[in-house]
Structure 1
Amino acid sequence: MVLVVIGALVLLLFGGCAAIVAAIGSSGDTSRVTTGRIAESDDPADEPTARKKTREKQAGIGTAVRDGEFSFTVTKMDKRARVGGDFLSKDAQGVFLLVYITVENIGDEAQAFSGSAQKLYDAKGREFEASAEAAIYLQDSKSLYEKINPGNSVRGVVLFDIPKNTDPAAIELHDSIFSNGVKVKL
């Protein structure tokens, strides 16, 4: 009897998680639509061509790009060995790359921005994850989890812990962990 109850609870928990993931995944348009200098295509048959053109004409710092319900503008970059203050700080394994961005909600509903959904690529094509732990130590990073209402924008900082001699090539920005993302040349 106890096993049946435990099994039912596990089944309900799994079903609830699946429903949440499905709801989040379908809550916004995650098609790759961009503004600025990046190639656009609404025809799925043109997807390989659109991706090739995107690589050739990637947007750069200061150019607004769109992924789903967010418009992103990378405004600048900075490197630091440590983030935080005198009492609470975090040292980088290599060096922290701070990418300053403006995120605008161009959709019709409030949506959360998460720095952990963003990816960094270096000149060798290696992928780096954002450091949510380091973002805690940076005052006003606004990249942990920031709810943005329609028409509003926030300025935030996404941090990456990268090797000291790494040349960052691009950041891939996402409106959610389920979106295709859009790359910005750094």
Structure 2
Amino acid sequence: MLAVVGAVIVLCGFGGCVAALSSDDSDDTTSTTTVTAPVPGEPSPAAEPPKSDIAPAGSAVRDGKFEFVVTAVDAPVKTVGDNPYLQKTAQGEYILVHINVTNISDQPQTYFADNQKLIDSQGRKFGNDTMAAINVNPETSIGSPINPGNTLPVTIAFDVPPGTVPAALELHDSMFSGGAKVSLQ
């Protein structure tokens, strides 16, 4: 009975959060667009090239309370793990990405490999395979607290189709953060 009451309370709380986040308190229902035409005889301002939101390979990138540095990308493998009873075989092949995660805040912060995404050359996103990650770094694959100023080396395992070309990594402080992208090429 207590479980049912608890579930109802959790659902009501979740529904209230969703309603609060999706409500629009704005009374402004009109919009204005201003267009400025160039003055004849004056040079038009040079258009700035679009800035990439992907940092160059090897760069430190920050998202939330973490700084990330990609240290290596391994060649694809079919199976991970040293223990023959716990080995994990990929549906396709595993791409293992090694990163250093540094807590740049003044509070302990928990790192989750499941928040990280691999982006291939076709723009497809791939998530971490937790069971494979456990085989390559059992202490840091599920959720690892990192104290302020400390750095944790981790390996993320992505199960991708054979022949996938990794292009970038999207790194997140949490599942709700905007993320930071770094090139893998």
The answer to whether structure 1 residue 61 and structure 2 residue 57 are counterparts is yes
Aligned to 2:87: 89
Tell me how far apart the structure 1 counterparts of residues 52 and 77 of structure 2 sit (CA, whole Å): 30
Q: Give the drift of 1:84.
A: 0.6
The answer to whether structure 1 residue 158 and structure 2 residue 143 are counterparts is no
The answer to whether structure 1 residue 11 and structure 2 residue 13 are counterparts is no
Larger radius of gyration: 2
**Pairwise CA RMSD of aligned residues?**
2.5
Q: Give the drift of 1:63.
A: 1.2
Q: Give the drift of 1:134.
A: 1.1
Tell me how far apart the structure 2 counterparts of residues 141 and 124 of structure 1 sit (CA, whole Å): 32
Q: Deviations over 1:68-104 (max 9, x none)?
A: 1000000110121110123320111111000000000
Aligned to 2:77: 80
Identity %: 42
Report if the CA contact (8 A) 2:137-2:155 is conserved.
no
Aligned to 2:67: 71
Secondary structure of the structure 2 residue equivalent to 1:53? coil
* Structure 1 runs not aligned, ≥5 long: 22-51
> Could you say if the C-alpha distance between residues 98 and 19 of structure 1 is closer, same or farther in structure 2, counting changes exceeding 3 Å?
farther
> Could you say if the C-alpha distance between residues 19 and 63 of structure 1 is closer, same or farther in structure 2, counting changes exceeding 3 Å?
farther
Aligned to 2:107: 109
Q: With the length of structure 1 as denominator, give the TM-score of the two structures.
A: 0.73
Q: Give the drift of 1:60.
A: 3.1
* Structure 2 runs not aligned, ≥5 long: 19-49
Tell me how far apart the structure 2 counterparts of residues 120 and 106 of structure 1 sit (CA, whole Å): 23
Secondary structure of the structure 2 residue equivalent to 1:178? coil
More helix by share: 1
Q: Give the drift of 1:13.
A: 2.8
Secondary structure of the structure 2 residue equivalent to 1:157? strand
Q: Give the drift of 1:59.
A: 1.9
Q: Deviations over 1:35-93 (max 9, x none)?
A: xxxxxxxxxxxxxxxxx5134xx323321110010000001101211101233201111
Tell me how far apart the structure 1 counterparts of residues 110 and 17 of structure 2 sit (CA, whole Å): 15
Count the aligned residue pairs.
Answer: 151
> Which of structure 1's runs of 4+ aligned residues deviate more than 3 A?
5-9, 15-21
Tell me how far apart the structure 1 counterparts of residues 65 and 72 of structure 2 sit (CA, whole Å): 22
Which one of 171, 177, 180 corresponds to residue 179 of structure 1?
177
Which one of 134, 144, 147 corresponds to residue 145 of structure 2?
147
